[in-house]
Each structure stands twice: as C-alpha cells, then as structure tokens.
Structure 1
C-alpha cells in the first residue's frame, strides 16, 4: 500500500480516489441492494401465491365435504393460478359428478387433466379414471385409446385391469383374460381382480 508523508497528502489521495471511482462504487452498491430486495420481493410474492392457493384448495375441500358445494372447486379450476391445484380440483369435481351419475360431466373434467395436466402422475391418474368413465358410457374404443396415456410402470396393473374390463364388456374374453393375468402379475394380492379372472370362464360359457 502506498505510504503518504503527510495527513494532507492522505486526504488528497482519498478525494482523488472518490473522484475516480466513487460513482461506480455507489452505482454497484445500489444495484446490488436493488437486486437483493427485488429477489426477496419475488420470492415472497411467489410464496404468498402458493400459500393462498393452498389455503383456497383446503377451504374448497372442506366446503365440498361439508356442503357438497361445487362453487369453490369451480373457482379453483378456472383460476389457473397454480395449475397443480387446478388439476386436483378437476379430479375432485369429476368424482363428484360421477357420484351423481353425471358421467359426461365427469369425462369432461378428466379429459382436461389427462390431456393438458401439468403433473405427469395426475395426468395418468386422470387417464385411467377417464377410461373407466368411458367404459361406463360404453365408449369402448375411446376408453382403450385413453389408456395409452398411462404409460408409467406404476399404473400397469390399473391399466391392464381396466383393459380387461373393456375387453370383457366387448365379449372379447381371450384378450380380457390376458389383460387380467397381466394385471395380476403386478398386483398378486388383488382378490377382486382374481375373481374377475375366475369369472371369465363362467361368463364366456
């Protein structure tokens, strides 16, 4: 570090340093603080949005359970603020519609999630449920096509069981037997599935 003989020389050196570099230092400090507070604001804003969506979703669920009221669920589906919550809300709305026998309405909600959902697992859950609704509507070909969406290994048993149900409804008992057998390989303790397989021989005559 440079040494100065007198205090006056030190003062002049400091003045010259601030003259040469002061503006850039101040600007850097301002930008740094602005970036820090800006990031904090962004993070807090994101957190508030997610917390608000979570609270809204919880309130909607509680209202549905207490009053069987679809209003809050519809609001969540249409809001689009946090797509994951919208997808969950659509699944709940679909179940509610199916319980009332409104299968076309249920299919509409499920189709939205199966084709445009933001979460891959929810898309596949919706696809399996949609296929079952389509089976109930006797839309067998549509149901089989819908099951192509659910390709994850975790859904193999559900997909194959549903295929078995579709093939059985079509009277295609050989394919139904193969599908049920494939499902049982993935879910050996499913007694209902075993019963379906055993009953095929009776149903086929």
Structure 2
C-alpha cells in the first residue's frame, strides 16, 4: 500500500508547489535565483532540507522554477503535496533524516502523511477560502491541493462515519422524546397518589 508513495519518477518533470506544470519562463515579481545546473536530482534528505531552508528563510517564492521542479521530483508528488498542506496550515516542513536510506524515509513519510488527516482537511479548507477570496477580488484562483488518493479515501471514510454517528444520535433523541416511550408523571401525582376506591359494604 505504501509502495506508491516512495516511487521516484526520473522521466517526467514533477509539478511545482502549486500543483501545476513547472513554469520554466521567467516569472514576474522578484527575480528568482539562478537555476542550478546540470539537472540532477538530490537525495530525499537534501531536497527536504533545501525546501525547509527556503520556507524558513522566506525565499521560496524566489526559487527558480527549474530548482522547484528538481525538489518536487526528488520528493515525489505525494510528499510534495503534503509539504504544501503543512505550509498552508502553518506547520514546519517535513525533513528526511540524512542518516537513513531514502527508501526507509519514504516509508516513514508515507505513514505520517496517511495519518495526518487533520492537516489535509485544514489545508483543503484554506485552499477553498483562498479561492473564494480570489473570486471576490478578481484575482487568479489558487490551484487545488493534490490530495493523494489513499488520503482522500480516508477523509471520505471519516466523513461518512461522522454522518452515520450524527444520524444515529438524532434518531436516539427523537425516540427519547416520546416516540413510544413512557411519558413522565407529574411530581405531585407521584408524591400524592390517588386514594383507593371505597370498599363496598
């Protein structure tokens, strides 16, 4: 189940942080840093360390698109999406340990991201809110969050369980309110029961 999470594709360019194809043209705004050459993939530990440094130093927006593509490919699409989810929710980037093999660290990352459902849900809400604000102010909408399929399945299962619990709770409340249940007796009637009928002479 976790094998899909730590595959590394070296034949196709991965998406940048926004989930779309890497834009290799010069972006507008602050001039990005010059791209590194040649196009070689770093290790997982090196890629996550460099990404974390760019986030912590506030320079991620100035990283050259080709270098972003390199980091994205080194991490893989699912881990790259999880890094964006953590960024959207104000959490520090995930870092691989340099002392462990890439394969072991990818398994560890896959386990953590599959269990990190609250982060995914909060990040999805942040993207939805940003999309609404963009529509109000006439700005480009942010790209959707590329939630991995197995994570989405867990989110849907969690929502279905919550809905089922709420439905059962409403039914229980309606049943307790008198649908076939005994009606409570007034307090006076309980304290002063009616006198027994007179016995015939």
**TM (normalized to structure 1)?**
0.28
Which protein has the bigger helix share? Answer: 1
> Larger Rg: 1 or 2?
1
**TM (normalized to structure 2)?**
0.28
